[in-house]
Structures are given as C-alpha cells and as structure tokens.
C-alpha cells in the first residue's frame, strides 16, 4: 500500500513543484536547474560511491560486518537514480541520501525494523550436519621427468650457466 501511494504521490508532487517554480523563475531557468542538479548529482554519486566501495573493501579485508557499507552503497545508488530523475522533490531526496548523517539515520531505522533469522558464512551442508567427505578434493596427477638433457645452451635459470 505504501509503495502504491509513493508511485501516486511523487509524480503529483513533482508536477506541482514544476508548475510553482516554473511560474516563479520561468521555463529556461527551471530546466537549467534540473540539468545542473543531474550533473552535480552524478559527480557526487561517483565520489560517494568510491568512498563506500573503499569502506566495503576494508570491511571485507578486516573481516568486519559488511552490512553498513553495503547499505550505504545501496542508498548512494538509489540517490543517483533519484538525482537523474527530473524533478525537484526527487533531487531533494537524492541529495539528502548523499549526506552520510542522513544515510546513517536511515540505516539505523532500517536495522531496527529488520530481523535476521539466520546468518551463515561459507558453504555448509544443510541441517548442520558435517560430511567429512566434502573436505576432500579428488584429483589425479602424473609426474613428468625429462627423458634426456636438452641440447643447446643452458637457459640462464640454472646454476653454472653464468656467462663470463
């Protein structure tokens, strides 16, 4: 129901804002603002996205919980989509999501509403059973020995092949 209301209300809000702002400052300044916010928003999304990707990499390398950097990255991606959508309301929400304090507040709100029932790292057999055969990797090998010494000069990688 909330999603339906959002899809209904956002275009109506955008149309009303276009009419009001266009009436105040005119058509060309209104269009210039829309294009300018898209350009500035794209640049900000790229810089914020790089920072979020760096935080995600560091959380993986330090074996920390990657939930918050992933959520920040998703919100930055969503803000980019909002900033590329023409409109003043979507631009305001998009720019708000680019601010780290706003993203942190949204993350805290979403974390309080989401319940994790199970968390699992790595592949494990179902129902907690552990099969020791799954730790074994089968393979075949064949040892190849040279039949004779190769003719010609040494490659330079073996001892005694130094040139004087």
Question: Which tokens is 162 given?
Answer: 């130094």
Instruction: For residues 48 and 61, give the distance between their C-alpha atoms in angstroms, rounded to a whole number.
Output: 20
In the predicted structure, residue 151 carries a pLDDT above the cut 70: no
Please give the pLDDT value at position 150: 59
Positive or negative: CA dihedral 114, 120, 123, 128: negative
How distant, in Å, are the alpha carbons of 113, 150, 151, 155 from that of 107?
A: 10, 66, 69, 61
Tally of residues, the chain:
164
Q: What is the pTM of this model?
A: 0.64
Instruction: For residues 80 and 91, give the distance between their C-alpha atoms in angstroms, rounded to a whole number.
Output: 9
What dihedral do alpha carbons 102, 77, 107, 36 form, nearest 10°?
A: 10
pLDDT in tens, 78-124: 998 898 888 899 999 999 999 999 999 999 998 888 887 776 666 66
For the chain, the distance separating the N- and C-terminal CA atoms, rounded to the nearest angstrom, is 85
CB 83, CB 42: distance < 8 Å: yes
Please give the pLDDT value at position 1: 83
Question: Which tokens is 100 given?
Answer: 């780290």
Domain parsing of the chain, residue ranges = 34-114
DSSP letter at 159 equals T
Question: Which tokens is 20 given?
Answer: 């009001």
In the predicted structure, residue 44 carries a pLDDT above the cut 70: yes
In the predicted structure, residue 52 carries a pLDDT above the cut 70: yes
């Amino acid at each position: 129901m909330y999603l339906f209301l959002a899809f209904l209300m956002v275009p109506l809000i955008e149309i009303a804002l276009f009419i009001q702002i266009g009436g105040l400052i005119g058509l060309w300044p209104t269009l210039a603002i829309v294009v300018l916010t898209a350009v500035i928003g794209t640049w900000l999304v790229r810089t914020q996205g790089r920072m979020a990707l760096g935080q995600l990499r560091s959380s993986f390398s330090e074996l920390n919980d990657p939930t918050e950097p992933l959520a920040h990255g998703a919100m930055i991606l969503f803000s980019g989509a909002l900033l590329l959508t023409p409109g003043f309301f979507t631009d305001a929400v998009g720019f708000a999501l680019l601010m780290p304090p706003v993203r942190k507040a949204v993350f805290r709100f979403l974390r309080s509403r989401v319940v994790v029932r199970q968390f699992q790292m790595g592949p494990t057999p179902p129902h907690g059973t552990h099969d020791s055969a799954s730790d074994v990797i089968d393979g075949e090998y064949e040892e190849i020995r040279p039949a004779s010494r190769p003719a010609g000069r040494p490659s330079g990688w073996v001892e005694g092949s130094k040139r004087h």
